């Protein structure tokens, strides 16, 4: 008989495992070239226990960003055409978790506000006390494409701020989401909560689903554009479903395999203690506790959406007269 | 206006505001208190260190608002703070208040268990403290709320004096220090009868230090010099109800340490015992010589008693009965007719009295005689009137006979009537202590009732409010209970309602203000609370305490009192110093030399040649 599990994630966030056809595993196989013989030969793949001797950094930095669409706009150009616009607020911040001292603090946070539009004539928008800087979007700029246009600005903000916050030494930087353009940051791992692609073969995926909390798979290499060293890790607190609590961690492909394995060891020793519990976080356990706290703080910094919406309405109304 | 402008500019200075978030800002500018100038203008002050900002997540009202405390600063209960509100076309409004509640919480935590994640260092959160401020003064009187975000300063020096209205007090009596260690004052206008009088002190016996506070207040009145000649000439009548702890007011306290000395110095008071004290104690029971009944204090104690002649002449019989004025009691009629009869027919005879041709030389004999006469059918009508039935007479007789044991040592016919034995504050020392602790309940009531009545009548006769007479009476609920009437209660009510104009100030103490006659409590301008019983604290009599303070009163330590005075809208938390006088035999230093004279009962043969050191109003023969 089939065993059933309720996904711990709140349905509105999707599933921890997004696929085209239901939530029974990363459904779309990746076309990427995967080298699974990096740490151990693929034939001898087995779950790896979190090594006790692994160096656990005392200081862990976690970077994340939040974004919010404050208002959708339409422009009326002089030539009669119209463009969609999006006024969005976004913020990125860094939490410094000093596990030795027992202090988690926000060491840097930055807020950006932008008016994303393809309109060639749009200018900065001053709404009350805040200013939405115009970001020209290339192409036709349909309304549905605009939310995605915010992401590069947010990522840039995240990179800026993580550069700033690091104080060197033995720390570890955890970036929420794939590393992508942040791969040049030292001692940094990307933390992927949602598994959309299957990188491994069916037999190796058996190893992933058989991971116990705290265990990880051997390191493998993906050969895509944003590829690099990668491994799966199961966090404690999942429902027991095959893919619950599984996260994929990646690090820069510029590292040597040994360095990547060391980072894998460190991540296995560090990340499980940040796992959240289901009743507190709708995306438990993958949404890490510091990240959740950081997102709450950042959302608070974005300001009240109703106030901003009203200010935008007022500002645009004034500009028309 | 200029000063206000300056104040505002300082608080709006962005540099200073930014300093708020740095711990070291606390270390700068802890300026020494300037010499407090009385009646100083509020506009001339400068605010103290910034401690936080008015927060905007809770409503700010003109009478109460919350302040977020800046990182590295702190506010504790009772701290005094000040902020300003800028208004268009007007001078800024200065809003001052005291902290009535403080709280700290984790911002960013959603669940109780998040605290572990935060302490572990995995969840980022901010500890944010906030303080509730209850406004004490708005100047000028424009009741606008402080603006959220406005910088709040810790008030020091003149700003603090202004916030607590000390600057408006022309005469201020030091009561002790606030939680911030700076003196706190009582407006003398509300103590000496100018605008109000009487003090009501409530608190649990033993921990609330009610009598200690009362005596300290007296000491402050006498020694602070704030009342001028009134203070120096004022008299105090203290009834000592428990133990012998008030009998050593004129003995130095050997346990006085440097800390206490400096506390007195801070209040600008000398750390010395009361200088001019006379102690009265009842005669020893069964002792025909009339020696005072005290065990620990051996010198400087005089016996007090009433002669039978005084008893009859001054109509003291009703004071024997606790409920003699209660209309529901039939026998009270008999009390008044017998009193009148004794007053009319008793003739003094060598200490005792003679009535109906019989010489009576003791209270017991008098009682027996009265009872005999009342039970005799022939004489009853001349003593009690004709309309009295036997049951009523018996009720009277039963109570009168019951009083024999308690009162026979106080009402005497065997001691010389010329010997000084009366308690008269006008002829006594500055402080007169009447020791009641050895007396049974009925005798205590008799002494208190008669003494107060005599004193009050003296004052009425004199017709002037000066010199002031402070009456300290503990267990007021016993003498003036909420229910029923009695001659003693009438006297106390008279003092409470008319004493203010006659210069008689009642400092009443009780465990439970809810059990004391309401009119006495409401006539007290100054209300003081020490540690309270939880059930008692919930009663409406303590409505002047804000909820947080009411809770604190449950755990107030000895020496901490909450004082409410009419011109400050919030009660002040006061710590008064340890007494500089001995409160028991074991801590008493050598007795003052002036007490030695009392060994010979005040008739000091050296008095004629000026051998008496201390100030004394006695006529020297």
A51-55, B342-346, B423-427: segment of lowest average pLDDT: A51-55
With a cut of 80, say whether residue A61 has pLDDT above it. Answer: yes
pLDDT for res B8: 36
pLDDT given for residue B614 in this prediction:
46
Q: What sign has the CA pseudo-torsion B191, B193, B135, B22?
A: negative
Q: Which fold has domain A16-315?
A: archaeoglobus fulgidus dsm 4304 fold (3.30.2170)
Place of tokens 């002449």: B313
pLDDT on residue B65: 95
* Sequence-separated (6 or more) residues with CB below 8 Å from residue B391: B330
Q: How far is A20 from chain B (nearest CA, A)?
A: 34
Which residues of chain A approach chain B closer than 8 Å at the C-beta?
A: 95, 97-106, 273-274, 280, 289-290, 292-294, 296-297
- For residue A65, pLDDT over 80 is answered with yes
Tens of pLDDT, residues A174-183:
988 888 777 7
User: Taking a C-beta distance cutoff of 8 angstroms, is the pair A125, A115 a contact?
Assistant: yes
Q: Where are the beta strands (DSSP E) in B356-400?
A: 358-360
Say if residues B602 and B618 touch (Cβ distance below 8 Å).
yes
Q: Can you tell me the mean pLDDT for A115-143?
A: 87
Q: How far separated are the first and last CA of chain B, in Å rounded?
A: 65
Best B111, B121, B125, B127 member to test A by mutation, with max A CBs in 10 Å, is B121
Show the tokens assigned to B75.
Answer: 């506010």
Please list every residue in chain A whose beta carbon sits closer than 8 Å to the beta carbon of residue B71.
none
In this prediction, residue B59 has a pLDDT band, given cuts at 50, 70 and 90, of very high
> What's the maximum distance between 2 C-alpha atoms anywhere in chain A?
72
pLDDT of residue A26: 58
Return the sign of the alpha-carbon dihedral for residues B15, B18, B19, B20.
positive
Q: What's the average model confidence in pLDDT over B286-307? A: 79
pLDDT tens for each residue of A268-299: 888 888 888 878 888 878 888 899 889 888 98
Average pLDDT over residues A239-244: 81
Question: Is B120's Cβ below 8 Å from some Cβ in A?
Answer: yes
Task: List the one residue out of B480, B478, B428, B460 whose CA is nearest residue B602.
Answer: B428
Q: What is the pLDDT of residues B5-25, one digit of tens each?
A: 333 333 333 333 333 333 333
Under 8 Å between Cβ of B92 and B159:
no
Give me the DSSP letters along B484-520: S--HHHHHHHHHHHHHHHHTEEEEEEES-GGGB-HHH
Q: What is the mean pLDDT of residues A28-33?
A: 72
- Bridge partners for A92 per DSSP: A65, A110
Confidence of residue A13 (pLDDT cuts 50, 70, 90): low
Could you say which architecture CATH assigns to the domain B183-303+422-609? 3-Layer(aba) Sandwich (3.40)
Interface contact B114-A297, CB threshold 8 A: no
For B352-360, what is the mean pLDDT?
Answer: 82
**Domain boundaries, given as residue ranges, for chain A:** 16-315
Mutate to test the interface with B, among A292, A294, A300, A301 (most CBs of B within 10 A): A292
Q: Considering chain B, what is the average pLDDT of its residues? A: 80
- Average of per-residue pLDDT across A107-125: 89
Strand partners, B358: B355
Using alpha carbons, select from A267, A173, A291 the residue that is nearest to residue A215: A267
In this predicted structure, what is the pLDDT of residue A15?
59
pLDDT bucket at B46, cuts 50 / 70 / 90? low
Cα B258 from Cα B264, distance rounded (Å): 10
| Residue with more model confidence, B151 or B425 | B151
* Share above pLDDT 90 across residues of chain B, in percent, rounded to a whole number: 13
Partner residue opposite A102 with nearest CB, options B108, B110, B119: B119
Supply the pLDDT for residue B613.
43
B1 pLDDT above the threshold of 80: no
B-chain CB neighbours of A274 within 8 Å are 122
Q: Pick A290's closest partner by Cβ from B110, B111, B123.
A: B123
Provide the pLDDT for residue B96.
Answer: 93
Structure tokens at A190: 């990307």
User: Which pLDDT value is given to residue A89?
Assistant: 92
Specify which of A19-28, A123-132, B423-432 reaches the highest per-range mean pLDDT.
A123-132
State pTM to two decimals: 0.73
Mutate to test the interface with A, among B106, B120, B122 (most CBs of A within 10 A): B122
Give the residue from B50, B104, B80, B329 showing the smallest Cα distance to B184: B80
How confident is residue B227, by pLDDT bands cut at 50, 70 and 90? confident
Residue ranges per domain, chain B?
2-168, 183-303+422-609, 306-412
| A64 token code pair | 């994340």
3-state helix, strand, coil in chain B (%, to 5): 35, 20, 45
The predicted-structure confidence for B118-132, as pLDDT tens digits, reads as follows: 888 888 888 899 999
Place A40 in a pLDDT band, splitting at 50, 70 and 90: confident
Q: Are strands B64-69 and B126-139 parallel, antiparallel or unpaired?
A: antiparallel
Chain mean position to CA B43: 34
> 3-state SS of B545-601?
CCHHHHHHHHHCCCCEEEEECCCCCCCEEEECCCCCECCCHHHECCCCHHHHHHHHC
Per-residue confidence (pLDDT) for residue B84, from 0 to 100? 93
Residues from chain B that touch A290, judged by Cβ atoms under 8 A, are 122-124
Is pLDDT larger for residue B158 or for residue A31?
Answer: B158
The mean per-residue pLDDT over the stretch B278-303 comes to 80
For chain A, list the strands marked E by DSSP.
28-29, 34-35, 59-76, 82-98, 103-117, 125-127, 130-136, 172-176, 188-192, 197-198, 220-222, 229-234, 246-251
């Amino acid at each position: 008989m089939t065993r059933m599990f309720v996904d711990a994630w709140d349905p509105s966030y999707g599933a921890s495992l997004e696929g085209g056809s239901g939530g029974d595993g990363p459904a779309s196989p990746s076309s990427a070239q995967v080298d699974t013989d990096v740490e151990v030969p693929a034939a001898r793949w087995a779950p790896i226990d979190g090594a006790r001797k692994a160096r656990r950094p005392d200081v862990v930095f976690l970077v994340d960003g939040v974004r919010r669409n404050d208002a959708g706009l339409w422009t009326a150009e002089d030539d009669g055409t119209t463009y969609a616009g999006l006024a969005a607020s976004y913020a990125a911040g860094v939490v410094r978790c000093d596990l030795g001292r027992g202090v988690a603090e926000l060491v840097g946070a930055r807020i950006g506000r932008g008016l994303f539009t393809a309109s060639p004539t749009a200018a900065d928008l001053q709404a009350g006390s805040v200013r939405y800087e115009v970001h020209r979007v290339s192409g036709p700029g349909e309304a549905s494409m605009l939310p995605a246009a915010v992401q590069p600005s947010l990522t840039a903000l995240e990179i800026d701020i993580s550069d700033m916050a690091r104080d060197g030494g033995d720390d570890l930087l955890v970036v929420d989401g794939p590393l992508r353009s942040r791969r040049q940051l030292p001692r940094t791992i990307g933390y992927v909560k949602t598994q959309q692609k299957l990188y491994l073969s069916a037999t190796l995926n058996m190893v992933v689903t058989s991971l116990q909390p705290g265990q990880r798979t051997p390191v493998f290499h993906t050969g895509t554009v944003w590829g690099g060293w990668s491994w799966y890790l199961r966090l404690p607190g999942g429902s027991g479903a095959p893919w619950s609590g599984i996260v994929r961690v990646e690090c820069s492909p510029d590292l040597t395999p040994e360095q990547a394995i060391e980072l894998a060891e460190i991540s296995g020793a560090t990340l499980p203690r940040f796992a959240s519990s289901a009743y507190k976080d709708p995306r438990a356990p993958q949404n890490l506790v510091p990240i959740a706290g950081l997102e709450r703080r950042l959302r608070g910094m974005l300001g009240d959406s109703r106030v901003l919406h009203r200010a935008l309405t007022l500002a645009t109304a004034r500009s028309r007269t | 206006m200029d000063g206000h402008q300056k104040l505002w500019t300082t608080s709006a200075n962005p540099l200073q505001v930014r300093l708020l978030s740095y711990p070291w800002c606390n270390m700068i500018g802890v300026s020494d208190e300037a010499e407090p100038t009385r009646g100083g203008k509020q506009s001339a002050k400068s605010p103290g260190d910034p401690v936080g900002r008015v927060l905007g997540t809770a409503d700010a009202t003109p009478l109460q608002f919350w302040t977020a405390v800046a990182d590295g600063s702190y506010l504790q209960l009772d701290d005094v703070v000040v902020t300003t509100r800028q208004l268009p076309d007007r001078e800024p409004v200065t809003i001052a208040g005291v902290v009535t509640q403080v709280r700290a919480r984790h911002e960013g935590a959603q669940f109780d268990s998040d605290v572990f994640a935060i302490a572990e260092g995995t969840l980022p959160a901010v500890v944010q403290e906030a303080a509730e401020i209850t406004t004490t003064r708005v100047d000028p009187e424009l009741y606008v709320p402080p603006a959220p975000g406005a910088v709040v300063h810790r008030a020091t020096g003149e700003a603090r004096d202004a916030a607590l209205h000390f600057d408006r007090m022309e005469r201020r009596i030091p009561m002790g220090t606030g939680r911030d260690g700076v003196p706190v004052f009582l407006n003398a206008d509300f103590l000496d009868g100018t605008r109000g009088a009487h003090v009501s002190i409530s608190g649990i016996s033993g921990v609330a230090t009610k009598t200690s506070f009362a005596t300290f207040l007296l000491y402050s009145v006498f020694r602070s010099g704030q009342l001028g000649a009134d203070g120096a000439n004022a008299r105090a009548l203290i009834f000592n109800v428990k133990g012998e702890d008030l009998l050593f007011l004129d003995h130095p306290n050997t346990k006085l340490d440097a800390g206490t000395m400096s506390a007195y110095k801070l209040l600008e008071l000398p750390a010395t015992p009361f200088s001019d004290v006379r102690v009265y104690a009842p005669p020893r029971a069964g002792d025909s010589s009339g020696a005072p009944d005290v065990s620990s204090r051996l010198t400087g104690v005089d016996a007090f008693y009433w002669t039978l002649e005084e008893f009859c002449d001054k109509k003291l019989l009703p004071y024997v009965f606790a409920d003699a004025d209660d209309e529901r009691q039939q026998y009270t009629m008999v009390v008044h007719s017998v009193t009148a009869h004794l007053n009319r027919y008793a003739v003094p005879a060598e200490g005792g009295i003679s009535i109906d041709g019989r010489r009576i030389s003791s209270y017991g004999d008098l009682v027996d005689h009265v009872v005999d006469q009342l039970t005799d059918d022939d004489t009853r009508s001349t003593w009690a009137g004709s309309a009295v039935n036997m049951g009523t007479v018996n009720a009277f007789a039963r109570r009168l006979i019951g009083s024999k044991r308690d009162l026979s040592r106080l009402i005497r016919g065997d001691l010389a009537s010329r010997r000084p034995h009366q308690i008269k504050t006008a002829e006594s020392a500055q402080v007169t202590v009447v020791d009641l602790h050895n007396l049974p309940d009925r005798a205590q009531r008799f002494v208190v009732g008669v003494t107060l009545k005599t004193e009050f009548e003296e004052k009425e006769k004199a017709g002037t409010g000066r010199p002031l007479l402070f009456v300290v009476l503990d267990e007021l609920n016993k003498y003036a209970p909420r229910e029923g009437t009695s001659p003693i209660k009438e006297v106390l009510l008279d003092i409470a309602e008319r004493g203010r104009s006659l210069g008689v100030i009642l400092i009443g103490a009780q465990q439970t203000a809810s059990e004391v006659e309401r009119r006495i409590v409401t006539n007290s301008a100054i209300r003081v609370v020490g540690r309270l019983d939880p059930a008692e604290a919930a009663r409406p009599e303590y409505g002047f305490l804000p909820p947080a303070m009411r809770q604190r009163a449950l755990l107030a330590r000895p020496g901490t009192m909450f004082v409410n005075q009419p011109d400050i809208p919030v009660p002040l938390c006061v710590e008064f110093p340890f007494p500089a006088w001995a409160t028991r035999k074991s801590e008493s230093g050598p007795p003052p030399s002036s007490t030695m004279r009392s060994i010979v009962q005040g008739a000091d043969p050296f008095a004629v040649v000026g051998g008496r050191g201390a100030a004394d109003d006695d006529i020297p023969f």
